[in-house]
Structure 1
Amino acid sequence: MRIGRLDDGGVTRLTLHGELDLDTGDLVEEQVTGALRDRPESLVLDLEGLTFCDSAGIDVLLLSREAVRRAGARFRVTRPRGIVLRSLEVTGLLEILTSDREPAGGRP
């Protein structure tokens, strides 16, 4: 797992490359926590380079979303593709993670 970071104004973008699973989830959580120390208005996780995401990885995405929202920032996942896109679709999480709006009925 490689993670790139780009800060542009109030937006921090973390680009994930490789596999997001039980072995690499801690690295993503560390990067999200580090990014939040700089108090961005919005944090974006770019998943275009992610080639695999298991249930532990999905949990990391949801926990990241919660951490960012608790910090008062917006959160959004962008550009999932392939098996990662399919995993988010079948779990019903694609719209929740790719929108920075609060879902109807409150948080999932």
Structure 2
Amino acid sequence: MTDHDQPARHPSPAAVPSARPAVVVVSVAGELDMDADRTAELDAALQRAATDPGSPAEITVDVSGLGFCDSAGLNVLLRAQLTALAHGRTIRLRGPNPQLLNLLKRTGALTLLDHEPPPPTAA
């Protein structure tokens, strides 16, 4: 028998380890507004994470270092969520501050973005 005559051997799907991480974390700090370069940078990073075939199902945006977010920043987050959902993924906010939570509530976006509460502050 030659190599061509041998039956093909394929590992079972369970035997192939997944190289895909469970969660990808994208961090943003400072201000997220129409004048900030980081708004465009965050948009690009989230769009990449949402559309990359190797990305995990959950994309966490660590906003715990964010001092301010306006409608431009909110638009980036909502657009990323729509793109993520279209690719079978979700966006989750980690540690939103009171200003961001208020913006999300007032615009009705709080129900569209899953979020983890900020860590308790030491008294």
TM-score by length of 1: 0.74
Secondary structure of the residue aligned to 1:40 is: coil
Are the counterparts in 2 of residues 51 and 82 from structure 1 also a CA contact under 8 Å? no
Distance 2:67 2:90 in 1: 25
Which of structures 1 and 2 has the bigger CA Rg? 2
Q: Which amino acid aligns with 1:16?
A: V
Distance apart, 1:94 and its partner CA: 1.7
Per-residue deviation, 1:71: 1.5
- 1:89-100 equivalences under 5 Å are 89-98=105-114
User: Structure 1: 5+ residue runs without aligned partners?
Assistant: 1-7, 100-108
> 2:88 aligned with 1:72, yes or no?
yes
1:30 aligns with one of 39, 44, 50: 44
Runs (4+) of structure 1 exceeding 6 A deviation are: none
Show CA shifts across 1:11-64 (max 9, x none). Answer: 111121111112332111111133232321111112111111001111111001
SS at 1:52 equivalent: strand
Of 75, 79, 94, 1:59 maps to: 75
**What residue is the counterpart of 1:11 in the other structure?**
23
More strand, by proportion: 1
Instruction: Please give the alpha-carbon distance, in whole angstroms, between the structure 2 residues aligned to 1:91 and 1:33.
Output: 22
**C-alpha distance in 1, partners of 2:69/2:83?**
19
Q: Secondary structure at the match of 2:56?
A: coil
Q: Which runs of 5+ in 2 are unaligned?
A: 1-19, 116-123
- The separation in 2 between residues aligned to 1:60 and 1:74, in whole angstroms, is 14
TM-score under structure 2 normalisation?
0.66
CA RMSD of aligned residues (A): 1.8
Q: How many residues align?
A: 92
